[in-house]
Amino acid sequence: MPIYTHLKNYCFTLVWWVLLCIVGSSLVIANEFDYRYKKTFKVQRLSLKEGLSQSTVQTIIQDQDGYIWLGTEDGLNRFDSYEFKIYRNDLRNANSLHENSVISLLEDPEKGIWVGTVSGLSLFDPKTESFTNYSENYPRLKTNIRNLFRSQNGIIWVASDKGLFYIERATGDIKLFVSNKGFKFGFPIVDIVQKRNLFT
């Protein structure tokens, strides 16, 4: 094989490796400017040691102010990234949480935090830090409140072991949902999902 062919192959290989190194280094440099490359996630473990009221967390939401709300078997916990504030039932205070075992939460931007427990429904007012316990006036809600949902038109829906209820915006009254054909949803409801215009 002539030396010219060897030299040609050698130059071709050298140019190929140089190009590969340039492309590879540019990808590394590009990654350094990519926000995903620099973005780090800090995972913080929250337990009884950090102040959580109970280790079984049944529901979690984050409100518009950034607070993390955790429903446990022993109270409602509010976490502000530094410490917990715990809300529990107090038999001497009618404006305390209805029941300590919290299983569903929903933020209502107009009113506060709806709290579903194993035996009723409460509404937390962040301004007064007090609860309105709806189950006292609506005995049918003295049951497991499985899920809470706010539809696009602002109606609060309550899924419970005794049926599907909704809260009227104007009056605040709680009513059992009855379909257009007169069918009453008075049986256990586990979850609520809005599909098309079902809840308008």
- In the chain the first and final C-alpha atoms are separated, in Å, by 84
Distances (CA, A) of 13 to 18, 20, 25, 27: 9, 11, 18, 21
Residue 156 tokens read as: 């609060």
CB contact set of 152 (below 8 Å; sequence gap of 6+): 194, 199, 200
Task: Kindly list the distances between the CA atom of residue 104 and the CA atoms of 12, 113, 138, 158, 160, in Å, as whole numbers in the listed order.
Answer: 67, 10, 18, 10, 10
Q: Which helix (H) or strand (E) holds 84?
A: strand 84-87
Is pLDDT at 27 greater than 50 in this prediction? no
Nearest C-alpha neighbor of 115 from the set 54, 61, 190, 66: 61
User: Is residue 36 pLDDT above 80, yes or no?
Assistant: no
DSSP secondary structure string, 182-194? --B--S-------
Rg (Cα) of the chain, in Å, rounded?
28
Q: By mean pLDDT, which of 14-18, 32-36, 70-74 is the weakest?
A: 32-36
With bands split at pLDDT 50, 70 and 90, how would you rate the model's confidence at 200? very low
Q: What is the pLDDT of residue 136?
A: 83
- pLDDT per residue as tens digits for the range 52-110: 888 889 999 999 999 999 999 999 999 988 889 999 999 999 999 989 999 999 999 88
Question: Cβ distance 48 to 57 under 8 Å?
Answer: no
Residues 156-181: tens digit of each pLDDT: 999 988 889 888 877 888 888 877 77
Question: pLDDT per residue over 146-157, tens digit each?
Answer: 999 998 888 899
Mean pLDDT of 118-129: 93
β strands within 101-168, DSSP E: 102-108, 112-117, 120-125, 130-133, 145-150, 156-160, 163-167
Total length of the chain: 200
Distance CA 150, CA 104 (A): 13
Q: What is the pLDDT of residues 109-123, one digit of tens each?
A: 888 999 999 999 999
7: helix, strand or coil: helix
Point out the least confidently predicted range of 30-39, 45-54, 87-96: 30-39
* 141 pLDDT tier (thresholds 50, 70, 90): confident
pLDDT at 9: 60
**Phi/psi zone of residue 131: left (φ > 0), alpha (ψ -120 to 50 degrees), beta?**
beta
Query: What pLDDT score was predicted for residue 11?
Result: 56
Each residue of 72-100: b (16+ CB within 10 Å) or e? bebbbbbbeeeebebbebeeeeeebbbbb
